[in-house]
Structure formats: structure tokens, C-alpha cells
Amino acid sequence: MPMRVVLDTSVLVAAARSKLGASNALLELLPCKEFTPAVSVSAFIEYRDVLLRPENLLHRTAGQAEAFLDFLLSVSRLQKIHFLWRPALPDPDDDLFLELAVAARCAYIITHNTRDFRGAEKWGVSAVTPSDFLRKIKAKT
């Protein structure tokens, strides 16, 4: 059974901006037998809001960004969230990702902003960068 993870919006933005980085390499693995992204309605709304901003579209159309989001949703596990633990993190905007990780029993939140998720360990969740996560799954295979 693949482990569940949460993708922070920073990973999606980095992948949209560069095909050369670890974020893009991670997303290109999907669907993947080693991990499955967990997504909630609030996380999906955040992804959509951020990816459709003009500064993040770059050479893509809004339709292409929407198609990517549809794909991401199709390979993800939709998770309902029944409890909120706010505020839990230094940046309240990140609480929705922690709540998703806890509700979906995720081991990792994959992010470029690991310091924003200080305190997630209290809930058994580790914040790791995309490159660190790629190393972890490569070590397991």
C-alpha cells in the first residue's frame, strides 16, 4: 500500500516554474506505487487559486493548469476533515495542510518551506523537501 503524503502548494508552484527541479521530478512519478497524495476540498481550492495566478501560469494557459489539477485530483486520495486544530503552525495559512496530513494519516508534508511546518511533529507528521522525499522513496526501492 502506498504511503500517503500531502503536497504543499510550494511544490506545485515550483514544478510549474521549472521542469528541472525535484518538484517536477516528484510530480512526474504520479501515479506512483510508493506514494499517493492526499487532498481535501480546502487544499484543492488553495492549489487552484495559486496555480491560476498570472505569475504562476507563465507559458501555460488556465486550461492547461486546470487539466493538471484534474490529473492531480485523479491520482490523489480525497480526504474529509472532521476536526480543525487551529492555530497549530506559525503561519495559519498552512494549518489546512497539517489538518489534511493528520486526517489522512500522512507521514510527510512535502514542501519547500519546512520551517513553516515546525510543530507538525506533535501530530506525527514530518515536513520534508521534494528532494529529501525523492531520496527517501529511492532508498526504499
pLDDT tens digit string along 95-130?
Answer: 899 999 999 999 999 999 999 998 889 989 999 999
pLDDT tens digit string along 87-99?
Answer: 666 666 788 999 9
What is the band of 82 on the pLDDT scale with cuts at 50, 70, 90? confident
In this structure, what DSSP letter does residue 125 have?
Answer: -
Q: Judge contact between 111 and 131, C-beta under 8 A.
A: no
Q: Judge contact between 98 and 123, C-beta under 8 A.
A: yes
User: Which residue is associated with the grid cell 489546512?
Assistant: 96
Per-residue pLDDT, 7 = 98
The CATH label, of 3.40.50.1370, 3.40.190.10, 3.40.50.1010, 3.40.718.10, for the domain at 3-140 is: 3.40.50.1010
